[in-house]
């Protein structure tokens, strides 16, 4: 049993779920949410803070500031609390309530952006707010997850080698694309060390990351309204886009077998099962990265009134037997989160 003194020192990096009994495909899910931050973003947060400390950007009176749709904000709030920094998370009014409360509980401040920018949506508006804070007070330090090389390097050094060691016969790796830090770190590692592994990026419908037209996105985590500077498309073999209704169905499918995962994980698993079901993909060794757990989504993707209001009753149909998921009692109506556009 490990004994730690800092919360960022613990992260379960070798836990996989064999999804074949659930999805009828040979697919292993690498679970990244078992740490005190609850998501894979702990790795990027720790790496970016260490980098800023090494460079001398972070000082005793510094105020960390970052734009985040949720999980990175939690990770930064946790590490900032441990290391004695103040932290401001810039998000928007559609961020999951549980996430905002968790950041506040850890001592961080939450700045809510209420209007999207004319171009670039809520992401552009959040970044503009961060830039304004930094311009007004030189104590603010923006780690900038969207272009910080430590974001990708964290996964080049940890996530990808862990997968390679556990699956020496790996054929294909499915990775969700948000800031593309996880995607780029893992893709570059396998390009350098095991180039035969196929890298499949997973994005949400409505994201512009891979050149698609912008559209409504209501589930936080994956996708962007501005192409991430970290992205190098040459490192990616294929891209699969997933409709949010399919994300919800997959999350419920996993939950009905006892595995409560977040929206990003549902998106990645949905893409992986569809890709593997195509002709010629039988018998491959496949791994998908699960970035998050599901507790922070109880008032959104696991709350049937929220689903029904945004996606209609079709999204409440179970993927296996076409039965309708039970609706909550009417007293629960009105409990719900909103959308987050990273």
| pLDDT one-digit tens code per residue, 233-251 | 999 999 999 999 999 999 9
Joined together, the tokens standing for residue 129 give: 């707010």
- Considering the domain architecture, whether residues 189 and 118 belong to the same structural domain is answered as no
* Burial zone of 82 (CB within 10 Å; 0-12 exposed, 13-18 middle, 19+ buried): middle
163 pLDDT above the threshold of 90: yes
**Cα–chain center distance at 198:** 21
pLDDT digits (tens, 9 = 90+) for 282-319: 789 999 999 999 999 999 999 999 999 999 888 877 54
pLDDT the model gives residue 338: 37
Contacts of 230 (CB under 8 A, 6+ apart): 146, 147, 148, 149, 151, 152, 179, 180, 181, 184
pLDDT the model gives residue 238: 96
CATH of the domain at 261: 3.40.50.1100
Joined together, the tokens standing for residue 34 give: 């078992």
- Is 25 domain-assigned? yes
Residue with token string 């950007």: 57
pLDDT the model gives residue 313: 82
Task: Assign residue 56 a region (left: φ > 0; alpha: ψ between -120 and 50; beta: otherwise).
Answer: left
- Considering the domain architecture, whether residues 21 and 167 belong to the same structural domain is answered as yes
Number of domains in the chain: 2
Pick the closest to residue 186 from 10, 32, 327 (CA basis): 32
Residue with token string 């311009």: 135
- Considering the domain architecture, whether residues 179 and 288 belong to the same structural domain is answered as yes
Looking at the annotation, which residues are catalytic?
Answer: 41, 264
pLDDT the model gives residue 326: 38
- Is 202 domain-assigned? yes
CA distances from 257 to 23, 37, 245 (A): 11, 24, 19
Asked which of 297, 313, 337 is the last residue of a domain, the reply is 297
Q: Beta strands 198-204 and 238-242: pairing type?
A: parallel
- Is 331 domain-assigned? no
Long-range interactions of 85-89: CB distance < 8 A, separation 24+: 85/58, 86/62, 87/63, 88/63, 88/64, 88/133, 88/140, 89/65
pLDDT the model gives residue 71: 93
335 pLDDT above the threshold of 70: no
């Amino acid at each position: 049993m490990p004994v730690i003194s800092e919360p960022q020192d613990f992260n379960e990096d070798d836990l996989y779920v064999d999804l074949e009994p659930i999805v009828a495909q040979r697919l292993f899910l690498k679970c990244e949410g078992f740490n005190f931050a609850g998501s894979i973003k702990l790795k990027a947060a720790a790496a970016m803070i260490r980098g800023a400390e090494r460079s001398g950007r972070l000082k005793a009176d510094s105020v960390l500031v970052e734009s985040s749709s949720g999980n990175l904000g939690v990770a930064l709030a946790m590490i900032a609390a441990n290391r004695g920094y103040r932290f401001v998370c810039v998000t928007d009014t559609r961020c999951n309530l549980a996430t905002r409360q968790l950041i506040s509980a850890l001592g961080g401040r939450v700045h809510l952006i209420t209007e999207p920018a004319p171009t670039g949506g809520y992401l552009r508006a959040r970044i503009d707010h961060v830039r304004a804070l930094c311009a007004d007070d030189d104590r603010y330090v923006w780690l900038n997850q969207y272009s910080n090389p430590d974001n990708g390097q964290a996964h080049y050094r940890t996530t990808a080698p862990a997968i390679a060691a556990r699956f020496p016969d790996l054929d294909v790796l499915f990775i969700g694309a948000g800031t593309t830090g996880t995607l780029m770190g893992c893709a570059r590692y396998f390009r350098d060390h095991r180039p035969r592994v196929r890298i499949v990026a997973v994005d949400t419908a409505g994201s512009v990351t891979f050149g698609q037209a912008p559209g409504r996105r209501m589930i936080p985590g994956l996708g962007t309204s501005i192409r991430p500077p970290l992205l190098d498309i040459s490192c990616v073999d294929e891209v699969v886009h997933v409709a949010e209704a399919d994300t919800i169905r997959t999350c419920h499918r996993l939950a009905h077998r006892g595995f409560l995962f977040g929206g990003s994980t549902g998106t990645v698993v949905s893409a992986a099962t569809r890709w593997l079901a195509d002709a010629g993909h039988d018998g491959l060794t496949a791994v998908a990265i699960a970035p998050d757990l599901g507790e922070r989504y109880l008032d959104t993707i696991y709350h049937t009134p929220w689903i029904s209001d945004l996606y209609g009753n079709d999204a409440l149909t179970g993927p296996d037997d076409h039965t309708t998921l039970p609706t909550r009692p009417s007293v629960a109506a009105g409990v719900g989160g909103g959308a987050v556009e990273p």
